[in-house]
Structure 1
Amino acid sequence: MRYLKKLLGAFALATAASMAGATPEHPQNNVDYLTLPQAQDTDSGDKVEVIEFFAYYCPHCNVLEPRLAAWVKKQGDNIVFKRVHVPRDENVLPQQRLFYTLEALGLLEQYHAKVFAAMHEQRLRLNRDEQVFDWAQQNGIDREKFVNAYRSFGVQARVRRAGYMMQNYRVNYWPVVVVGGKYLTSPSQVGENMRGEPTEAEQQEAALKVMDYLVQKSKPAAPAAAK
């Protein structure tokens, strides 16, 4: 019995020490981030691919957006940044198709934040096709051009691919960020192991630091100098 108590005590101390070392400045695998059992192919060349899995209706995605946008800008040429709007049900499908239509038309960066504002500030549900078309027109987008793209095979293919990517990257909640086709992290993942009761803003800032680390970790190795 005394041996068992010693063993349990040693395990508790080891666990505590491990958790104490897990900080955004010194991230640990399976604590601050997860590693996919099978890395996914990337097409980002000598830059690091970073993918955000998100949804327009998600309040946490909405709050993260400005911080994430600033982080992407700060990373500059270090990364290739992509977004994947996750599927859920028929109410979310119009929002998902809205995202991929904006992307197909080259309008995403101009209107991405405006969609979040429409849903979370103006309280538009954007859960019907006609409501999405009205929103696009009211925001200065040619309605016919938008509708044609929205209903195109290309946008339908992007919607289907989002579902496949969720499976391949093992994404089951959002927002989640994947770095280098291999490492997954999120504010909630990092926040689970922060001391005290961190605010959502603190969790987000900590997650961005973990993402900094993962970008560095994922950079291609420099070619060896010729002898």
Structure 2
Amino acid sequence: MNRREFSAQALSAGVAAACAGLSPLALAQQGTAPVEGKHYVKLNQPVPVAGGKIEVIEFFWYGCPHCNEFEPMLDAWSKQLPSDVAFRRVPVAFRAEPFVMHQKIFYALDEMGLIPTMQRKVFYAIHGRHMRLDKPPEIGDYMQSQGVDSVKFLERLDSFSVQSKAKQAAKLAADYKIDGVPAIGIQGRFYTSGGLVGNMEGVIAVSNFLIDKVRNKG
């Protein structure tokens, strides 16, 4: 989901080949590699990356139906990434509300170590139960119903550290030029999205291609 509607694009043979795990060089030789500007974007200004691993970021919003549908696939893929890849999620904020509150929900859960158990539940609450989760009383009641201490959670929700992380997330999404989610950022140099590729299986394939490209200094 983006500020505009996603435009549908066909998945190229190169994306399918990327799924097969072929190297960027092999794909290029076959003339089937995902195409820059069509299946992925190369940033004009790279975003600084810390650490020795290849950084992979999913940019998402809890309220996005595409992110909700992508979550099971993303979760399975992220658990199978090679040891030289560091994966993390970053919630976006295209406007103040309800985006910022949803950012804060994510970071409060993260600080409490609850993302593994609560990530899909929050998606389900919004998309399956049609909850807004944009006001503290509703959020507190929901967390309590899921066995989360609502007092501690709401304290985290309004904490300086969570607010700071939300602002940092907004800056990172802006640096990556993200205008739609779900999107995958790779090593501060590339991103791909459903709007570019056309479906989320393709996003995984292009992400694998870009990870391999970075690994091979492409």
The answer, yes or no, to whether TM exceeds 0.5 is yes
1:115 aligns with 2:148: no
8 Å Cα contact 1:22-1:28 kept in structure 2: no
Q: Structure 1 unaligned segments of length 5 or more: list them.
A: 1-18, 192-202, 222-227
8 Å Cα contact 2:180-2:195 kept in structure 1: no
Displacement after TM superposition at 1:22 (Å): 6.4
Q: Compared with structure 1, are the counterparts of its residues 22 and 150 closer, same or farther at alpha carbon in structure 2 (3 Å cutoff)? A: same
Alpha-carbon distance in structure 1 between the residues aligned to 2:148 and 2:115: 12
Amino acid at match of 2:88: K
Displacement after TM superposition at 1:97 (Å): 1.1
Amino acid at match of 1:208: I
TM-score (norm 2): 0.82
Alpha-carbon distance in structure 2 between the residues aligned to 1:42 and 1:220: 17
Partner of 2:147: 140
Structure with greater Cα Rg: 1
8 Å Cα contact 2:181-2:194 kept in structure 1: no
Alpha-carbon distance in structure 2 between the residues aligned to 1:208 and 1:60: 14
Note the 1:168-187 alignment, pairs <5 A: 168-187=175-194
8 Å Cα contact 1:44-1:80 kept in structure 2: no
1:219 aligns with 2:215: yes
Alpha-carbon distance in structure 2 between the residues aligned to 1:38 and 1:120: 36
Displacement after TM superposition at 1:189 (Å): 0.4
Displacement after TM superposition at 1:105 (Å): 1.4
Amino acid at match of 2:169: A
Note the 1:3-14 alignment, pairs <5 A: none
Amino acid at match of 2:99: V
Amino acid at match of 1:149: R
Q: Quick one: percent identity of the two aligned structures?
A: 35
Aligned residues: 191
Note the 1:60-79 alignment, pairs <5 A: 60-79=66-85
Over residues 158-184 of structure 1, what are the superposed CA-to-partner deviations in whole Å (9 max), with x where a residue is unaligned? 111122112211111111110111111
Partner of 1:14: none
What is the SS of the residue equivalent to 2:133? coil
8 Å Cα contact 1:22-1:32 kept in structure 2: no
Amino acid at match of 1:74: Q
Note the 1:70-219 alignment, pairs <5 A: 70-87=76-93, 88-191=95-198, 203-219=199-215
1:30 aligns with 2:37: yes
What is the SS of the residue equivalent to 2:58? strand
Displacement after TM superposition at 1:220 (Å): 6.4
Displacement after TM superposition at 1:23 (Å): 2.6
Partner of 1:16: none
**1:54 pairs with one of 50, 56, 60:** 60
Alpha-carbon distance in structure 2 between the residues aligned to 1:143 and 1:20: 44
8 Å Cα contact 2:11-2:202 kept in structure 1: no
Whose helix proportion is higher, 1 or 2? Answer: 1
What is the SS of the residue equivalent to 1:28? coil
Q: Compared with structure 1, are the counterparts of its residues 107 and 21 closer, same or farther at alpha carbon in structure 2 (3 Å cutoff)? A: closer
Displacement after TM superposition at 1:91 (Å): 2.6
Alpha-carbon distance in structure 1 between the residues aligned to 2:108 and 2:65: 22
